Chain A
Amino acid sequence: MKKEDTVKLISAEGFEFVIDKKAAMVSQTIRNMLTSPGSFAETEHGEVTFPEISTTILEKICQYFYWSLQYASGKETEFHIEPELTLELMMAANYLHT
């Protein structure tokens, strides 16, 4: 996979998730960061840091991005959300517009 096709999402604890750009674009917020004109650090390095989102939640978010792509292409599987994660995930999803 070429570097320009991926983005690196960094959690509050500093864990790095490298995912397809296409998947990350599911989030309106990330899409805006990566495509906005001007030379934001995010646009240049393909790296976004989320100091408010914990590793567990960011992992779940990444899973959701891929699930969402599948869902959009017609593959209807269940996306299970553990009740413990619902609140934080909800707030992260709200922030990411996804």
Chain B
Amino acid sequence: MPLPDVIPFIGLGWSDVLFLLLGGVVLAAAFGVVFGRDIIKSGLFLILTLGALAGIYVMLGAAIVAGAQVLVYIGAISVLILFAIMLTQSKVAPLKLAFQTQVAPAALAAVLLALLFGLAFGSTDWGSTVFTDTPAATGTAPVAAALFGPYLLAFEIASVLILAAVIGGLYLAMEPKGDEVGEELL
């Protein structure tokens, strides 16, 4: 028996429920990242945020970006951040002072930024947007046509940038000469 298009009693479609669920997880986990006292838990909430965002990317029909998100962000960057947290965590650091003294202006600036975004999104005419149930998966052909067509130079520069970042990161985190080499992993 097929499911009905519109969920009874709520009046929303299934993709609406999925979007609200994933968006709620994204926002709640982002609040956990920003407001968490324990920085290890902040790192784990960051992984949850990135995973839920990958779900929203799939809803938008960009499965290749969702795969890159899982591979690069969840697989590499989060592990790097957790390693750095464990290397720099000291027990003497006061845990109760997670925020700087400028927390009130920062909150004001963030709220103003959100209001500005809302105003800009509400007042902009986006032209003819396609209206579907959810955007259909377009496959990778248009992505490849854009990436290897008008954005080919940016693509090549990104590869050079990653090479430079790898060399620079190795150099910066290298143990200085003269100390005992090999004590740390990084």
Partners in one complex: no
Residues of chain A at the chain B interface (Cβ within 8 Å): none
Residues of chain B at the chain A interface (Cβ within 8 Å): none
